[in-house]
């Protein structure tokens, strides 16, 4: 994105530069004409870029729909409510319920962990951290975002998975044994590959998005607001809760949405550690699957209706992400309105 | 998004593959497909390149993908572990023959159990994969292993998450020996696994079993050996306990009736014979009968001919079983009569 912008602005400057030279030797009207031409070219370059994005998006949607059409015709709405995933049954029965469940559950758990921790880190970095430590901690967080997801997958598989299965999972299983509902949510046996492990990895992966964006927007809060609040005797918590967060709400929610988008679509790391099993069990320590993990592990060997169903899964993820983003926009609008009324 | 990247990458690979086969003087032979024979194909390709200067570019992307690529004519040959039936071959104008044979072994990671010590029957293996036998101290396992002290722990079942020829042969075997498996799950490259976790590729399953305590999985024998995994012995059709060795694989292979199978469609699981390893499998090559690039096709046939003649020992070193002489003769006649060059 950034390099593209620079590219066009350099081109524009070159345009203007040559136009100026002309203005020196030729008449004014011609120079102005050149400026106008430059402006128009710039306008069209940017407009075409924007249209290109729309075309690409439309193309992807259309090809997904075309690819998944046989599955849509075959299964209809039952695709959404069927838990069975049996590509080699006669006839094949394919349902999206368990990957949908896995996608939503892992993202929800990941966000439940990552939002408080991520915002907490950002608050610490901007409000409480000694100045000399801000840079190293901030950079460490940003480096986390740069680690390729396959590395997270391998780390989750070889180190985090065994660690969780031998320590954290047995602890929760023993703690809630016999308790209704919680007992089955945290039901055993411990597993190296599970929905819970995948959620935890996702939480670590999306943390930098939330922290980096929150930190940047927290830094935009005018110091005078904070100083005024401290001046009337607010605690740090009160300043964060009543001044910083309301002021930066839009930006923070934007960061959270970006993180959620990544969590919903993350493929490689999740495929490594989720266990790739098309079953829905009440326990979060059981293996499961997500939409992207299912596509990644089955697409190469699929054909016919199976492949078409995987395309339909892709379409579902597309729709899911779209609705999540739309819901976020709506929420922001309503928040804005409410804030407007209060003021 | 990664999914689109994968498609784009596949497209690029396909494009470069077809670009490679265009020049008249064929530089590299291109093939794609099964992961099961990849170790032996790459060893052959290495030796072949040293001898003739011609290289082989084999992408081990899975049997199903290999079939797709040869149908799309983006490669000179495809490789698959699950053979195509004769009518399908005729319909698509493909020629199929077995290239080499290998074996699939159950592998376990249980404390105190050494390689070959654990004995399983096909039916028991099916019950474990059905999720009916869930603990290592189950009486059904104890009955076959009176001397072993097995832990009181849950069995962690590992299967393939990607579609695969290894899974096809494994589930084909389970369908033959376990009636409930046949009715509930059946056979296929990707089936509806009733229990366990999925891992990608033979290497994924070996990694998972090596990593997870009290687990069981199934892999191609070479992967079990390379990763020093604990394999289990199986009870074969004759009721005898057999260890996975080249001798027991060969015993199973010797039974196969290649001469009377149209399109060489033979599945080697659950073969009779006292010494036969029950999950033996052949892996197949697919080529177009009327190739678009005749020169490349001729080069590929040269490579296969060379492999049949000189590759036997190399295959055995990697614990694959070379095709018997008589079958090779038959295949060579098929080449001359069927492939137009």
For residue B184, give how far its alpha carbon lies from the nearest alpha carbon of chain A (Å): 9
CB contact under 8 A, B161 and A276: yes
pLDDT for the residue A4 = 46
pLDDT tier for residue A341 given thresholds of 50, 70 and 90: low
Q: How far apart are the C-alpha atoms of A176 and A174, rounded to whole Å?
A: 6
- Beta-carbon-side half-sphere exposure of residue A229 (alpha carbons within 13 Å): 16
Query: Which residues of chain B have a CB within 8 Å of the CB of A275?
Result: 197-198
Q: For residue A52, how many other CB atoms are within 10 A of its CB?
A: 10
Contact present, A85 and A98 (Cβ < 8 Å): yes
Average pLDDT score over chain B: 86
Q: How far apart are the C-alpha atoms of A60 and B322, rounded to whole Å?
A: 47
CB-nearest partner of B65 from A158, A296, A301: A301
What separation, in Å, do the N-terminal and C-terminal C-alpha atoms of chain A show? Answer: 37
b/e per residue B89-111 (b: at least 16 CB within 10 A): beeeebbbbbbbbbbbbbbbbbe
pLDDT tier for residue A58 given thresholds of 50, 70 and 90: very high
The helix-helix angle for A304-342 and A291-298 (nearest 10°) equals 160
Query: Which residues of chain A have a CB within 8 Å of the CB of B208?
Result: 192-193
For residue B309, give how far its alpha carbon lies from the nearest alpha carbon of chain A (Å): 32
CB contact under 8 A, A295 and B161: no
For residue B63, give how far its alpha carbon lies from the nearest alpha carbon of chain A (Å): 7
pLDDT for the residue B136 = 93
Q: How far apart are the C-alpha atoms of A64 and A235, rounded to whole Å?
A: 53
CB contact under 8 A, B193 and A162: no
pLDDT for the residue B25 = 46
pLDDT, tens digit, 9 for 90 and up, residues B133-146: 999 999 999 999 99
pLDDT for the residue B326 = 82
pLDDT at B227 over 50: yes
pLDDT for the residue B17 = 44
- The answer to whether B217 contacts chain A (CB < 8 Å) is no
Query: Which residues of chain A have a CB within 8 Å of the CB of B62?
Result: 300-301
**DSSP type of residue B85:** P
Q: How far apart are the C-alpha atoms of A127 and A61, rounded to whole Å?
A: 44
Interface test with B, best of A148, A298, A301, A305 (most B CBs within 10 A): A301
Average pLDDT score over chain A: 86
Q: Is the ipTM of this complex over 0.90?
A: no
pLDDT for the residue B170 = 94
**DSSP type of residue A285:** T
Token look-up 């001898």 returns B51
pLDDT for the residue A2 = 44
pLDDT for the residue A240 = 92
pLDDT at B4 over 80: no
For residue B224, give how far its alpha carbon lies from the nearest alpha carbon of chain A (Å): 19
Element (H, E) at B30: strand B28-33
Q: How far apart are the C-alpha atoms of A135 and A120, rounded to whole Å?
A: 16
Per the DSSP assignment, residues forming a β-bridge with A232 are none
Q: How far apart are the C-alpha atoms of B225 and B245, rounded to whole Å?
A: 11
- The answer to whether A288 contacts chain B (CB < 8 Å) is no
pLDDT, tens digit, 9 for 90 and up, residues A16-28: 555 555 545 668 8
How many CB contacts within 8 angstroms connect chain A with chain B? 98
For residue A141, give how far its alpha carbon lies from the nearest alpha carbon of chain B (Å): 23
pLDDT, tens digit, 9 for 90 and up, residues A277-302: 888 888 889 899 999 999 988 887 77
pLDDT for the residue B21 = 43
Average the pLDDT over each of A124-128, B8-12, B46-50, B272-276 and give the range with the smallest value.
Answer: B8-12
CB contact under 8 A, A162 and B192: no
pLDDT for the residue B316 = 87
> Searching chain A, which residue's CA lies closest to the CA of residue B196?
A277
pLDDT for the residue A297 = 86
- The answer to whether B191 contacts chain A (CB < 8 Å) is yes
Q: Higher pLDDT residue, B27 or A289?
A: A289
CB-nearest partner of A277 from B64, B196, B207: B196
Span B286-304, average pLDDT: 88
Q: What percent of chain B has pLDDT over 90?
A: 36
Residue A68: burial class (beta carbons within 10 Å; 0-12, 13-18, 19+):
buried
- The answer to whether A161 contacts chain B (CB < 8 Å) is yes
- The answer to whether B6 contacts chain A (CB < 8 Å) is yes
pLDDT at B119 over 80: yes
CB contact under 8 A, A297 and B188: no
Query: Which residues of chain B have a CB within 8 Å of the CB of A271?
Result: 161, 200
Q: How far apart are the C-alpha atoms of B195 and B198, rounded to whole Å?
A: 9
pLDDT at A274 over 70: yes
Q: How far apart are the C-alpha atoms of A95 and A85, rounded to whole Å?
A: 6
Q: How far apart are the C-alpha atoms of A306 and B188, rounded to whole Å?
A: 12
pLDDT at A238 over 80: yes
pLDDT tier for residue A5 given thresholds of 50, 70 and 90: very low
pLDDT tier for residue B61 given thresholds of 50, 70 and 90: confident
Token look-up 């989720």 returns A274
Query: Which residues of chain B have a CB within 8 Å of the CB of A299?
Result: 3, 6
pLDDT for the residue A328 = 83
Smallest CA-to-CA distance from A271 within A285, A289, A254 is with A289
| B257: Cβ contacts below 8 Å, ≥ 6 apart | B266
pLDDT, tens digit, 9 for 90 and up, residues A185-231: 888 778 888 999 999 999 999 999 999 999 999 989 999 999 999 99
pLDDT tier for residue B14 given thresholds of 50, 70 and 90: very low
CB contact under 8 A, B187 and A88: yes
CB contact under 8 A, B161 and A297: yes
Interface of A with B in 180-219 (CB under 8 A): 189, 191-193
pLDDT tier for residue B23 given thresholds of 50, 70 and 90: very low
Query: Which residues of chain B have a CB within 8 Å of the CB of A303?
Result: 64, 68
Query: Which residues of chain A have a CB within 8 Å of the CB of B65?
Result: 300-301
pLDDT tier for residue A31 given thresholds of 50, 70 and 90: confident
CB-nearest partner of B190 from A191, A277, A298: A298
> Searching chain B, which residue's CA lies closest to the CA of residue A291?
B3
């Amino acid at each position: 994105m950034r390099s593209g912008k620079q590219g066009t602005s350099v081109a524009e400057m070159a345009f203007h530069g040559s136009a100026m030279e002309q203005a020196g030797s030729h008449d004014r009207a011609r120079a102005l004409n050149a400026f106008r031409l430059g402006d128009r070219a710039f306008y069209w370059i940017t407009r075409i870029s924007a249209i290109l994005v729309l075309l690409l998006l439309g193309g992807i949607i259309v090809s997904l729909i075309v690819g998944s059409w046989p599955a849509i015709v075959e299964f209809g709405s039952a695709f959404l409510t069927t838990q069975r995933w049996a590509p080699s049954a006669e006839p094949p029965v394919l349902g999206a319920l368990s990957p949908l469940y896995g996608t939503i559950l892992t993202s929800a758990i990941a966000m439940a962990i990552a939002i408080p921790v991520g915002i907490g880190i950002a608050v610490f970095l901007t409000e409480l951290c000694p100045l000399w430590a801000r840079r190293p901690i901030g950079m460490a967080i940003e480096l986390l975002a740069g680690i390729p997801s396959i590395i997270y997958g391998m780390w989750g598989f070889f180190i985090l998975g065994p660690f969780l299965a031998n320590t954290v999972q047995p602890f929760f299983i023993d703690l809630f044994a016999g308790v209704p509902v919680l007992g089955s949510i945290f039901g055993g046996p411990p597993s190296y590959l599970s929905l819970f492990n995948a959620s935890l990895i996702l939480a670590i992966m999306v943390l930098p998005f939330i922290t980096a964006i929150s930190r940047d927007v927290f830094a935009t809060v005018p110091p005078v607001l904070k100083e005024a609040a401290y001046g009337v005797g607010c605690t740090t918590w009160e300043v964060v809760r009543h001044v910083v967060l309301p002021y930066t709400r839009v930006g923070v929610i934007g960061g959270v949405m970006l993180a959620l988008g990544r969590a919903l679509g993350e493929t490689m790391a999740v495929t490594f550690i989720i266990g790739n099993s098309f079953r829905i069990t009440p326990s979060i320590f059981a293996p499961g699957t997500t939409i992207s993990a299912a596509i990644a592990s089955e697409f190469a060997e699929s054909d016919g209706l199976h492949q078409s169903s995987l395309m339909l899964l892709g379409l579902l993820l597309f729709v899911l992400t779209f609705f999540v983003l739309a819901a976020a926009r709506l929420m922001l609008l309503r928040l804005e309105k409410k804030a407007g009324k209060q003021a | 998004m990664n999914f689109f990247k994968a498609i784009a990458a596949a497209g690029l690979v396909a494009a470069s593959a077809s670009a490679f086969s265009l020049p008249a003087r064929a530089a590299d032979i291109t093939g794609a497909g099964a992961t099961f024979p990849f170790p032996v194909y790459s060893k052959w390709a290495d030796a072949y390149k040293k001898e003739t200067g011609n290289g082989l570019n084999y992408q081990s992307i899975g049997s199903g993908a290999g079939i797709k690529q040869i149908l799309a004519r983006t490669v000179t040959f495809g490789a698959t572990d699950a053979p195509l039936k004769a009518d399908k071959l005729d319909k698509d104008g493909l020629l199929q023959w077995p290239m080499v044979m290998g074996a699939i072994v159950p592998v376990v990671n249980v404390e105190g159990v050494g390689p070959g010590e654990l004995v399983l029957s096909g039916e028991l293996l099916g019950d474990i994969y059905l999720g009916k036998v869930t603990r290592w101290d189950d009486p059904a396992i104890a009955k076959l292993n009176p001397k072993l002290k097995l832990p009181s722990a849950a069995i962690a079942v590992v299967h393939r998450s990607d579609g695969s020829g290894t899974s096809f042969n494994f589930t084909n075997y389970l369908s033959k020996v376990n009636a409930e498996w046949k009715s509930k799950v059946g056979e296929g490259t990707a089936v509806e696994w009733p229990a366990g976790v999925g891992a990608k590729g033979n290497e994924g399953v070996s990694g998972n079993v090596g990593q997870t305590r009290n687990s069981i999985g199934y892999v191609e024998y070479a992967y079990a050996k390379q990763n020093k995994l604990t394999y289990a012995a199986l009870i074969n059709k004759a009721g005898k306990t057999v260890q996975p060795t080249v001798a027991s694989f060969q015993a199973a292979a010797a039974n196969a009736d290649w001469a009377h199978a149209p399109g060489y469609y033979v599945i080697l699981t659950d073969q009779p014979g006292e010494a036969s390893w029950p999950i033996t499998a052949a892996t197949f090559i697919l080529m177009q009968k009327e190739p678009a690039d005749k020169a490349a096709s001729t080069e590929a046939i040269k490579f296969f001919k060379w492999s049949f003649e000189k590759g036997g020992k190399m295959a055995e070193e990697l614990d694959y079983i070379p095709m018997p002489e008589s079958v090779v003769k038959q295949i060579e006649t098929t080449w001359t009569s069927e492939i137009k060059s």
